[in-house]
Amino acid sequence: MSTPVAPNVACNATLYPKFCKSMLPRNETSNIRDYSRFSVRRSLSAAKKFLSLIEKYLRHRSTLSKTAIGALEDCRLLAGLNMDFLSSTMNALNSTKPILSLETDDLQTLLSAIVTNLQTCSDGIQATASSWSLKDGLYTPLSNGTKLFSVSLSLFTRGWLHKKRKCQSCDHHGRQIFSDMKHVRHGPLPLRMSNNNREIFESFSQRKLLQASTDEVMVSDIVIVSLDGSGNYTTINDAVAAAPNNTHIDDGYFLIYIAAGVYEENVSIGKNKKYLMMIGDGINQTVITGNRSFVDGWTTFNSATFAVVGEGFVAVNITFRNTAGAIKHQAVAVRNGADLSSFYSCSFEGYQDTLYTHSLRQFYRECDIYGTVDFIFGNAAVVLQNCNIYARLPLPYQFNAVTAQGRTDPNQNTGTSIHNCTIMAAPDLALSIGTTKTYLGRPWKEYSRTIYIQSYIDKLIHPTGWTPWSGDFA
Chain segment 305-336, per-residue pLDDT in tens: 999 999 999 999 999 999 999 999 999 999 99
pLDDT at 302 over 50: yes
Residue of 137, 175, 211 whose CA lies nearest to 381: 175
Q: Which residues pair with 378 in a beta bridge?
A: 405
Rounded to an integer, the average pLDDT of 8-23 is: 95
Please state which CATH class domain 7-160 belongs to.
mainly alpha
- By the 10 Å C-beta count (0-12 exposed, 13-18 middle, 19+ buried), 220 is classed as middle
CA distance 88 to 76: 19
What gap in Å lies between CA 244 and CA 278, rounded to an integer?
Answer: 15
Per-residue pLDDT tens for 386-405? Answer: 999 999 999 999 999 999 99
Average pLDDT, the chain: 92
Q: Is the pLDDT of residue 211 over 60?
A: no
Chain centroid to CA 145: 21
Residue type, 294: F
pLDDT of residue 172: 46
Task: Give residues with Cβ within 8 angstroms of 263, minimum separation 6.
Answer: 225, 227, 235, 236, 286, 287, 288, 289
For domain 190-457, which architecture applies?
3 Solenoid (2.160)
What DSSP assignment string belongs to 111-146? HHHHHHHHHHHHHHHHT-TT-HHHHHHHHHHHHHHH
pLDDT one-digit tens code per residue, 418-453? 999 999 999 999 988 889 999 999 999 999 999 999
Task: Specify the range with the lowest mean pLDDT, choosing from 29-33, 127-131, 352-356, 378-382.
Answer: 127-131
Whole-number pLDDT of residue 474: 43
User: Between residues 184 and 398, which one has the greater pLDDT?
Assistant: 398
Band the pLDDT of 349: cuts 50, 70, 90.
very high
Q: Does 169 score more than 50 pLDDT?
A: no
d(CA 36, CA 40): 6
- pLDDT tens, 98-138? 888 789 999 999 999 999 999 999 999 998 866 667 888 89
- Judged against a pLDDT cut of 80, whether residue 471 lies above it is answered with no
Q: Catalytic residue at 374? A: yes
Q: How confident is the model at residue 96 (pLDDT cuts 50, 70, 90)?
A: confident
Region at 414 (left for phi over 0; alpha for psi -120 to 50; beta for the rest): beta
**Torsion on CA atoms 16, 18, 23, 29, rounded to nearest 10:** 110
Q: What is the mean pLDDT of residues 55-73?
A: 92
Between residues 64 and 288, the one the model is more confident about: 288
* Beta strand pairing call for 276-280 and 253-258: parallel
Does position 198 have pLDDT exceeding 50, yes or no?
Answer: yes
Domain spans in the chain, listed from the N-terminal domain onward: 7-160, 190-457
Q: Which of 374, 409, 428, 472 is catalytic?
A: 374
Pairing of strands 261-264, 267-269: unpaired
Name, in order, each residue with C-beta under 8 angstroms of 24's C-beta and a sequence gap of 6 or more: 7, 10, 11, 35, 38, 39
Position 79 scores a pLDDT of 98
At 205 the pLDDT is 76
The model's confidence at residue 193, banded by pLDDT at 50, 70 and 90, is confident
Q: Hey, do 7-160 and 190-457 end up sharing a CATH topology, with the first three levels equal?
A: no
> What percent of the chain is modeled with pLDDT above 70?
90
Position 204 scores a pLDDT of 80
